């Protein structure tokens, strides 16, 4: 079938909740994707920061094939080897204590919120606790995750949502302090806001949050769903700051294409929060996804991907900064590692995204006016050069 026929067939049966680009992708290789017409695209989206290993990686693929031939699913009523290995590797990478695997980032947020509420309930013996979240944050689409998402237009059609949520200004410690009450059980924050527009937290802000939470016995939750798993050059963005949370969520690149998420707890949070019967999942952490997670960690270490991101980040930033200097519609660059945003002024970001796609570069937007670049972690200088050439053409048109 032709591309437009595939698009029409999709619209006939799939609920229209996405404004999809008019591209029917068929296969991938390395940092490139190909559509049904054979057109080649350099991918600087990675499936929204998911496909860290790029596409059609032989070692990753073989690990999944081997697991398919061995055991796909058992439920969490039994032990299995991939769960033990994936959990061990994630706990070691984070330096934290206990892991709960979920099916998605949104579910990881739900679990983190429940763990924080249960921690406070265990301490006090009563419920009705509150959570402080950040303005312009994004944590997911389910009712709980949406409740702590700090952008009104995401929440308003679905209100009333979960109660007891207060919003503070990101990177403003005094704003957070003003929202703290004797009912606050947790503060949730993205070390780098993603959907909100690629805003890194300041060192002072995260350090201040850690002190504040320690003083008041409040749990600090970091959402590392987009900025984690090597995107900044360390496994988790908070490791650059030296500020460890009590609970951390991750997903996206954790499975590098297989749908899996997790929330991870330190010893204090794990010991006094969720107990048997408090939380569960049928599919979460099954043998197939855990085999993927385990292989992802193996390949990160084998190929030195964290060091690779650190090494290439200055080159990527230099190329993007050149675009800021050259084009008046590009006001600034912000971000960290392979999570970068170009702030556009006087030029619709959707227009630039479309022109880039027309010229063979996949990029996406964030925060209304930010061009977001979250490529696979395997990109090279040659890929960065190609991206800059195509993006410059899109900006110049």
Q: Is the pLDDT of residue 217 over 90?
A: yes
The CATH architecture to which 3-57+304-396 belongs is Alpha-Beta Complex (3.90)
Domain with CATH 3.40.640.10 in the chain: 71-303
Q: Which two tokens stand for residue 68?
A: 């398919």
DSSP letter for each residue of 117-183:
HHHHHHHHS----EEEEETT----SSHHHHHT---HHHHGGG-S--S-EEEE-TT-HHHHHHH--TT
Catalytic one of 138, 167, 170, 263:
138
Instruction: For residue 21, indicate whether it is catalytic.
Output: no
The pLDDT tens digits for 260-312 are 999 999 999 999 999 999 999 999 999 999 999 999 999 999 999 999 999 99
What mean pLDDT is reported for the chain? 97
Q: Is the pLDDT of residue 1 over 90?
A: no
> What pLDDT does residue 84 have?
98
Is 71-303 assigned to CATH 1.10.287.950? no
Catalytic one of 252, 295, 319, 336:
252
Catalytic one of 57, 223, 236, 336:
223
Res. 397 pLDDT band, cuts 50 70 90: confident
Instruction: For residue 252, indicate whether it is catalytic.
Output: yes
Q: Is the pLDDT of residue 138 over 90?
A: yes
Strand-pairing partners, residue 371, are 342, 365
Domain with CATH 3.90.1150.10 in the chain: 3-57+304-396
> What pLDDT does residue 59 have?
98
pTM above 0.95, yes or no: yes
Residue 183 and residue 148 in contact, taking contact as beta carbons nearer than 8 Å:
no
Mean pLDDT of 8-19: 96
d(CA 289, CA 286): 6
């Amino acid at each position: 079938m032709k591309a437009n026929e595939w698009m029409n067939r999709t619209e006939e049966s799939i609920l229209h909740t996405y404004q999809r680009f008019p591209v029917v992708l068929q296969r991938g290789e390395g940092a490139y994707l190909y559509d049904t017409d054979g057109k080649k695209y350099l991918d600087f989206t990675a499936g929204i920061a998911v496909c860290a290993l790029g596409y059609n990686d032989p070692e990753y693929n073989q690990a999944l094939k081997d697991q398919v031939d061995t055991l796909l699913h058992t439920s969490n009523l039994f032990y299995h080897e991939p769960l033990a290995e994936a959990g061990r590797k994630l706990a070691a990478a984070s330096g934290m204590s206990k892991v709960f695997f979920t099916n998605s980032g949104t579910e990881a947020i739900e679990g983190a919120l429940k763990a924080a509420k249960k921690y406070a309930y265990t301490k006090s013996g009563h419920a009705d606790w509150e959570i402080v979240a950040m303005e312009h944050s994004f944590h997911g689409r389910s009712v709980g995750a949406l409740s702590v998402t700090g952008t009104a237009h995401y929440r308003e059609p679905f209100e009333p949502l979960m109660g007891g949520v207060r919003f503070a200004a990101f990177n403003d410690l005094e704003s957070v302090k003003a929202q703290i009450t004797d009912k606050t059980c947790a503060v949730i924050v993205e070390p780098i806001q993603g959907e909100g527009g690629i805003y890194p937290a300041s060192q002072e802000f995260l350090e201040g949050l850690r002190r504040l939470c320690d003083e008041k016995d409040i749990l600090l939750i970091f959402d590392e769903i987009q900025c984690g798993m090597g995107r900044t050059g360390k496994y988790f963005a908070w490791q650059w700051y030296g500020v460890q949370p009590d609970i951390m969520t991750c997903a996206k690149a954790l499975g590098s294409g297989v749908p899996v998420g997790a929330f991870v707890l330190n010893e204090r949070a794990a010991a006094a929060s969720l107990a048997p019967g408090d939380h569960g999942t049928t599919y979460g952490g099954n043998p197939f996804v855990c085999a993927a997670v385990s292989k992802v960690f193996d390949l990160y270490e084998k190929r030195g991907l964290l060091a690779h991101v650190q090494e290439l980040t200055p080159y990527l930033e230099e190329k993007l900064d050149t675009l800021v200097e050259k084009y008046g519609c590009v006001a600034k660059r912000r971000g960290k590692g392979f999570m970068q945003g170009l702030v556009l002024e006087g030029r619709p970001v959707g227009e630039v995204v479309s022109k880039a796609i027309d010229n063979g570069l996949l990029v996406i937007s964030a925060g209304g006016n930010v061009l977001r670049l979250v490529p696979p972690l395997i990109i090279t200088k040659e890929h960065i050069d190609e991206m800059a050439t195509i993006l410059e053409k899109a900006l110049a048109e």
